[in-house]
Amino acid sequence: MTAYRIVQVDAFADRPFTGNPAAVVPLEGWLPDATMQAIAEENNLSETAFTVPCADGEADYELRWFTPTTEVALCGHATLASGHVLIEGEHVRFRTRKAGVLVVGRDGDALTLDLPETLVRRQDHARLLEALGTPAGEVFISYKGPEGTAIILLPDAAAVRACAPDMAALRGIDLMAIVTAKGDGQHDVVSRVFVPAWGVDEDPVTGSAHAALAPFWCERLGRDSFTAWQASRRGGLLECRREGERVILGGTCVTVIEGKFHL
């Protein structure tokens, strides 16, 4: 049997059992896709990230992400977690297959994550509103990013917290569904994220969702930065800033498990 290092990190968290857990598996070379998918299924976390050193100098590492059921094109929190595990200097660069080069940098005791922005436009989607149980929502969708993203604007933060989707119905809609509203005092924006079509019913804290929420809310708030609270059961705080066509997310990470995976 071969032993592989594995580190479990709570991302966008200031203490254990908050934020979004991700497993990080640093490799020297890629394992077969089926093996990486099986490891992600065994971990049963929203994401397992795999890295290998990048040999051509364009980046420090190549990076891929798997949910328990599928490989995804972009995952923010597992990228932040990978940076937390692998950063040695002021930043670490990850080359991805569909999202380009992503950079995790130091910001005091926190980390920053640089993502391409996702722009959405108004679009009717009655089936999505029905599945979410949010008939008063306004739907905005992008199919131009690595994967489909839907922002559902709700009347207030209480409606976001009360959202109780029909997960079986959402499983048949191939979108990341982000319900959001203005915050209710402590934070500028509040959201929740549901992706049962990709094997995760409710994602605790979602970096890729904020690549869409940042431009969406910067335009509505009339400024280029804001604080965001993802109101899942675990909860997580993100500092969001828009820079041109990029989104900079800030947050902290906590290592909760380190060990070996034996294959």
Query: How do the domains of the chain map onto residue ranges?
Result: 3-116+250-262, 121-241
Alpha helices in the chain (DSSP H): 33-43, 76-86, 126-132, 157-162, 167-170, 207-221
Per annotation, catalytic residue among 41, 47, 88, 138 = 47
Q: Which CATH number fits domain 3-116+250-262: 3.40.630.30, 3.30.300.30, 1.10.3720.10, 3.10.310.10?
A: 3.10.310.10
Indicate if 117 belongs to the active site. no
For residue 179, CA distances in Å to 1, 9, 145, 146, 150 come to: 45, 25, 18, 20, 8
Local confidence pLDDT in tens for the 263 residues of the chain: 999 999 999 999 999 999 999 999 999 999 999 999 999 999 999 999 999 999 898 999 999 999 999 999 999 999 999 999 999 999 999 999 999 999 999 999 999 999 999 999 999 999 999 999 999 999 999 976 557 999 999 999 999 999 999 999 999 999 999 999 999 889 999 999 999 998 899 999 999 999 999 999 999 999 999 999 999 999 999 999 999 999 999 999 999 999 999 99
Kindly report, residue by residue over 48-85, the tens digit of the pLDDT. Answer: 999 999 989 899 999 999 999 999 999 999 999 999 99
The predicted structure's pLDDT at residue 250: 97
- Which regions of 36-120 does DSSP assign to beta strands (E)? 47-53, 61-66, 71-72, 91-95, 101-107, 110-116
Kindly report, residue by residue over 137-174, the tens digit of the pLDDT. Answer: 999 999 765 579 999 999 999 999 999 999 999 999 99
CB 64 within 8 A of CB 78: no
What is the Cα–Cα distance from 12 to 249, expressed in whole angstroms?
10
The predicted structure's pLDDT at residue 262: 96
Tokens in use for 251? Answer: 């947050």
Topology agreement, domain 3-116+250-262 and domain 121-241: yes
What is the Cα–Cα distance from 151 to 173, expressed in whole angstroms?
14
- Taken in order 228, 62, 116, 112, the sign of the CA dihedral is positive
Q: Longest Cα pair distance anywhere in the chain, in angstroms?
A: 56
CATH number of 121-241: 3.10.310.10
